[in-house]
Copies of this chain bind each other. A is one copy, B any other.
Amino acid sequence: MIKVRTPTLLVNLKTYSEGTGKRALDLARAAEKVGSETGVYIGLAPQFADIAMIAQSVSIPVFAQHVDAINPGAFTGYILPESIKEAGAVGALINHSEKRLVLADIDATLNRIRELDLASVVCGNNPEVSAAAAVLNPDVIAMEPPELIGTRIACSKARPEVVTGTVKLVRRVNPKIVILCGAGITTGDDVAAALELGTDGVLVASGVVKAKSPYKTLLDFASSMTRR
């Protein structure tokens, strides 16, 4: 079963003010509009407390930003996979650069994710780490060079060899996986460049969330995906 359609445009709201609560919902509505206008698969990763509200209000897929490798039980403050699923999430980011996991927990989290038929997006910080993670068979690998995250210097423009290296190493261990890249993606050109390099889409955050008009930015991004 295909869990994440391509080309893929995944928006991580992080803990930005512009992506919290009511403003997260505004963003979700903009993303839903662009998705329906362009046909591009747009997913949104809001904060945990906003998952339910967004999943109930829009039809686009909602991802958790993290999930713990736990079963139901005594884990105060943890993120239970069942909880984010019941709230309406269809998947989760795992091992984002800002929320790294020990290797064994990436594996254990993926087992729990599969058990609940959720989609998994494992992040890696370089080609080698992405390939190692790909051995564990997630649905999506998203490679982001940490030094470009939050900048306006696109990985697809500034570090093309890291993107193609990721595609090559990941495909070698796991040919079917969806591959995204991210960090610094700010324009439709950056998105087009990412696809040119062999990826299936992008993982974006501040470039959309902090844009003057998230709707226009998303439309620019999505259009550059369908134009190819």
Stretch from A27-35, A76-84, A156-164 that touches the partner: A76-84
Are A76 and B12 within 8 A (Cβ)? yes
Contacts of A150 in B (CB 8 A): 74
The 8 Å CB contact of A129, one of B15, B82, B103, is B103
- Which of A47, A72, A125 counts the most chain B CB atoms within 10 A? A47
**Residues on B with beta carbons closer than 8 Å to the beta carbon of A78:** 15, 98-99
* Cα of A73 to Cα of B53 in the assembled complex, Å: 21
What 1/0 mask marks residues of chain A from 38 to 55 whose CB sits below 8 Å from any chain B CB? 000000010111111100
Chain B: CB-nearest residue to A137? B128
Give the CA-CA distance A79 to B78 in the complex, in Å: 10
Is the CB of A70 closer than 8 A to any CB of chain B? yes
Question: Which residues in window 100-135 of A have CB below 8 A to B?
Answer: 100-107, 124-126, 128-129, 131-133, 135
A residues 56-89 in Cβ contact with B at 8 Å: 64-66, 70, 72-80, 82-84, 86-87, 89
**In the complex, A188 has a CB within 8 A of chain B:** no
What chain B residues lie within 8 Å of A74 (beta carbons)?
Answer: 14-16, 98, 149-150, 205-206
Total count of chain A residues near the partner, CB < 8 A: 66
B-contacting 9-mer, from A1-9, A17-25, A192-200, A212-220:
A17-25
A93 touching B80 in the complex, CB below 8 Å, given contacts A100-B102, A103-B103: no
Given contacts A125-B104, A135-B173, whether A72 and B12 have CB atoms under 8 Å apart is no
Choose from B22, B48, B77, B87 the contact partner of A21 (Cβ within 8 Å). B87
Enumerate the 7 nearest inter-chain pairs by beta-carbon distance, A residue then B residue, closest first.
A66-B77, A77-B99, A21-B86, A48-B48, A49-B87, A100-B102, A15-B80
Interface, chain A (partner B; CB < 8 A): 12, 14-17, 20-22, 45, 47-53, 64-66, 70, 72-80, 82-84, 86-87, 89, 93, 95-107, 124-126, 128-129, 131-133, 135-137, 149-150, 169, 173, 205-206
